[in-house]
Structure 1
């Protein structure tokens, strides 16, 4: 018997932060959480766009500025947070863009997709009451991590491989974060999700007309909607799942379908690599797991 489609349970009385919520998967995630009763904070780089997005949502919605490619912005956002935070959804990201650098000199995709969220999570963690959801990708399977060259200074730069590496880092971060939370006796859970192939504007910034055309064709022929693509994130954020869970679409090749628990690559399951990446990330960002976790949750 086919189970009923997943629906978001009531989020009344809960507060969620969704990064990158001006469009696409982030906006769809924020819309669903707000509609279910949560207070939702849209953490966005462009506040004007965030306000325009918030105007189309129902419920209690707030917009705050956050640029994940600038650690000063990350620290300002976290430093201004007070009170309880039930769910942090680390959704924002860039995909297969030309070579670039963050404000702090990191490779742009790794710096935005992983290091920005790494710092944000650790800085906000004393406030988090329930879970941290990190959005990865099936592309993590094509990524490899060279911890001696995270900035791609010695290797030929590949937008595809750099993106895959950043998404692999997302899963390794979830793995090590859950290990640390468990060791600290914290009830907070770290989960991850990927959207399958979803038709959003994420694929439109490669700077390559051939790649752009191919992805646009895939969006029309293969992809599911942003609302459907957000379901694994919502599942990871609101369903009763064990820490360390990874959610994705149930369909063929995990491209589309209802959310379910999915597998990950061998590299993404390597606790030793996860621990070494954590150490490197803490050194690069100056942010680390708060010990002990404070009692800021109110």
Structure 2
């Protein structure tokens, strides 16, 4: 039986550049630390630079000489995404669309989009499209981080902002299903264009991260008692996206998650998303809507 995949299996990343959104905490921080330890140049794209610099200092304390760069990016704000992309003039080997929020009260982004849809999907859709021509190297990748919550979400095309029937958890599920639909459709379009780039998706299982802070107080209180028994630490939760980003055997269109039966814990393996995530008609509809809402057009042919 093969040994479980771990950070020890990450190949040498010297000379490669990783752009990781939300790299100041949780899964993003663990991902940045792991690839920096293998020699990568890591661009930590964070909403609050002071937190990013503190996170970078923490990484350097564990990984002396880590090659880190902190840049401000609020993925919820499409104007900020565009400004970031316009000011980013270097190549990228791996883009990790990691930043996210979960289950906040209903609010809208600066452009009027529901905050979870704006942060988790639209901002990363726009960032990927604007930086697609910066992907470089022999094995460039886009890694989009989804969630088990995608199993319980739908895309509410008739109410994307949640104006009529907002639910924090249901609209989190919408944003995470959108991540999968986007990532899988991106892979289809990259293949149709003959691109060397791969689009790979990952989810962390049930991991203990700061995303849980938006749950209601009663659930948080219960969580403090129960979470240690049902979750895995962020370092373990980051393994699927690290596999997606660095494992030579990872293929475009794959979805990587924990290996136990419920996909809540365990080392990374290839898993299957729910069937709705593979529906090309829904994916094309979401793609068209996302291009309209962001104003970002990808230089890739549409699929049929």
**TM-score category (smaller protein):** over 0.9
Residue in 2 that maps onto 1:68: 75
TM-score by length of 2: 0.93
Alignment partners' CA distance in 1, 2:259 and 2:4: 13
Residue in 2 that maps onto 1:295: none
1:222 aligns with 2:224: no
Paired residues of 2:76 and 2:123 also in contact (CA < 8 A): yes
Residue in 2 that maps onto 1:110: 117
Residue in 2 that maps onto 1:5: 5
Superposition misfits of 4+ residues, deviation over 6 angstroms: none
The alpha-carbon deviation at position 4 of structure 1 amounts to: 4.1
1:233 aligns with 2:241: yes
* Structure 2 stretches lacking a partner, 5+ long: none
Closer, same or farther in 2 for the Cα pair 1:160/1:73, shift >3 Å? same
Paired residues of 2:149 and 2:172 also in contact (CA < 8 A): yes
Q: Which whole-Å deviations, capped at 9, do the CAs of 1:61-80 have from their partners, x for residues lacking one?
A: 00000001111110111111
Q: Which whole-Å deviations, capped at 9, do the CAs of 1:144-172 have from their partners, x for residues lacking one?
A: 11212211123x21111000010000000
Alignment partners' CA distance in 2, 1:132 and 1:216: 34
Residue in 2 that maps onto 1:29: 31
Alignment partners' CA distance in 1, 2:266 and 2:243: 13
Residue in 2 that maps onto 1:296: none
Alignment partners' CA distance in 2, 1:79 and 1:231: 31
Residue in 2 that maps onto 1:120: 127
Q: Which whole-Å deviations, capped at 9, do the CAs of 1:174-231 have from their partners, x for residues lacking one?
A: 111111111111110000000001111110123x212222333342211111110000
User: Please, which of 152, 162, 186 is the counterpart of residue 162 of structure 2?
Assistant: 152
1:189 aligns with 2:198: yes
For the residue of structure 2 that corresponds to 1:253, the secondary structure is coil
Alignment of 1:95-106 (within 5 A): 95-106=102-113
* Structure 1 stretches lacking a partner, 5+ long: 293-298
User: 142-151 vs 215-224, which deviates more?
Assistant: 215-224
Alignment partners' CA distance in 2, 1:53 and 1:199: 18
Alignment partners' CA distance in 2, 1:42 and 1:262: 28
Q: Which whole-Å deviations, capped at 9, do the CAs of 1:30-74 have from their partners, x for residues lacking one?
A: 000100110000000000000010012231000000001111110
- Root-mean-square deviation over aligned CA pairs: 1.2
How many pairs were matched up?
290
TM-score by length of 1: 0.94
Residue in 2 that maps onto 1:136: 146
Alignment partners' CA distance in 2, 1:62 and 1:210: 38
Alignment partners' CA distance in 2, 1:217 and 1:284: 41
Alignment partners' CA distance in 2, 1:112 and 1:84: 24
Residue in 2 that maps onto 1:278: 287
